[in-house]
Amino acid sequence: MDLKNITRRVAGAFIAAATTATLATGAFADGHGMDMSGKTVEWIIPFSETGGSAKWANFYAPLLSEALPGQPTVVVKFMPGAGSTKGANWFQKQKFEDSEGTVIFGSSGSTQFPYLLGDPRVRYEYGDWNVVLASGTGGVAYLPPELAKEMDGNDASALRDTDFIYGSQGATRLDLVPLLAWEMLGLNVEPVFGIKGRGDGRLMFERGEANIDYQTSSSYLKGVTPLVEEGTAVPMMSWGALDADGDIVRDPTFPDMPTFKEVCDATDGCESSGEKWEAWKAFFIAGFPAQKMVFLPAGASKDAIATYTKAFEKIKARDDFADISAKRLGKYPQMTGDKAAGALSSATEVPQEAKDFVIGWLKERYGVSLK
């Protein structure tokens, strides 16, 4: 892109913002998909500019702009606060008629967990929204080499007399999944709270202060793979991925790594069935295979849903999509249409027993009450 082009696009964005504002009440074509030319789509991300959701949205935004009919400007707008519940509550109040498809919302696992755990700040209802894309991811736990050596194949029981330190963002966040998994294996993991992002957790591991850690797939590929090559970190297990039947199988991004299910099966005292396992699985599904989703607000027209679904399908059909998405997002399903709806329901319709178990466990183990 040359210099002139940039100035033109900046100016264009400005003019577009001004004109959409004045023309927002104008009608658009009916029936045959929406024409969005000249409009500005605001993609609300309920986190700050610095997190994983920002990277995900920034990856998709320019592609979405090209794929939507009329090539509207797509801008990512950050609305951080209260661990994403602020932005989600705001989105719940949006009426489709007011924006007519120019406001979309990107949720994440951190939006799903407080919803599932009955956080008093949650005023939003996933059932009201219309999902148009669901992006999956995975996670990998890893150890320092001297501790990884103690594992007997997939049997982790030899690690039980080690004092583990783990840099954590908070027990009610996505960290719930690794913490519960390690506990099921009988490991004595003490979370050190107060870190600001998983990157800080990895740094703590690199400094030798933490001796167990986990990263989501893309951060693992970027930040931990070099450590593994250097020999200062060894992968322990992945959380796995879901197959079509809803069973946990090996993560396609890490086919050589055992899943937590395999490690659990090989370790005495850890069972991949029963209440605890079901609770872990439910929260894993809520947090990873459908971690990030794009929504249209309540009351969206069929037209708008179809337009966005088609646009995301068009992005997936790009020749270079496999290549560019594998680098930024990892090899995970990017689901649209019925698949996205299926992912949404498995992520948000968690059995009451699983919720009760986790709420009770959080209270008992970490003294966290969400009232």
Contact residues for other proteins (CB under 8 A)? 1, 3, 6, 9-10, 13-14, 17-18, 20-22, 24-25, 48-50, 54-55, 58-59, 61-63, 73-79, 81-82, 86, 98, 120-121, 163, 165, 167, 170, 172, 190, 192-195, 199-200, 202-204, 206-209, 222-223, 225-227, 230, 323-324, 327-328, 366-368
- Distance of closest approach, residue 176 Cβ to other proteins, in angstroms: 13
- Toward other proteins, which CB reaches closer, 9 or 149? 9
The side-by-side arrangement of strands in the sheet containing 130-135 is: 73-78, 40-45, 103-107, 292-296, 130-135, 334-335
Q: What is the spatial distance between Cα 305 and Cα 71, in angstroms, rounded to a whole number?
A: 17
The answer to whether 344 and 293 are in contact (CB under 8 A) is yes
- Distance of closest approach, residue 371 Cβ to other proteins, in angstroms: 9
- Distance of closest approach, residue 190 Cβ to other proteins, in angstroms: 6
User: With helix as H, strand as E and coil as C, how does 268-297 read?
Assistant: CCCCCCHHHHHHHHHHHHHHCCCCEEEEEC
- Distance of closest approach, residue 342 Cβ to other proteins, in angstroms: 29
- Distance of closest approach, residue 49 Cβ to other proteins, in angstroms: 5
Q: What is the spatial distance between Cα 115 and Cα 110, in angstroms, rounded to a whole number?
A: 9
- Toward other proteins, which CB reaches closer, 77 or 149? 77
Q: Which amino acid would we find at residue 36?
A: M
- Toward other proteins, which CB reaches closer, 59 or 96? 59
Q: What is the spatial distance between Cα 194 and Cα 192, in angstroms, rounded to a whole number?
A: 7
- Toward other proteins, which CB reaches closer, 4 or 302? 4
Tell me the CB-side half-sphere exposure of residue 302, using CA atoms within 13 A. Answer: 3
Angle at 315 between CA 311 and CA 317, to 5 degrees: 115
Q: What is the spatial distance between Cα 267 and Cα 96, in angstroms, rounded to a whole number?
A: 51
- Distance of closest approach, residue 158 Cβ to other proteins, in angstroms: 17
- Toward other proteins, which CB reaches closer, 154 or 211? 211
- Toward other proteins, which CB reaches closer, 63 or 143? 63
- Distance of closest approach, residue 81 Cβ to other proteins, in angstroms: 5
- Distance of closest approach, residue 194 Cβ to other proteins, in angstroms: 4
Q: Helix, strand, or coil here: 217?
A: helix
Q: What angle separates helix 337-348 from helix 302-316, to the nearest 10 degrees?
A: 100
- Toward other proteins, which CB reaches closer, 29 or 324? 324
If you ran DSSP here, which 8-state letter would residue 267 be given? S
Enclosing H/E stretch for 73: strand 73-78
- Toward other proteins, which CB reaches closer, 171 or 293? 171
The answer to whether 350 and 282 are in contact (CB under 8 A) is yes
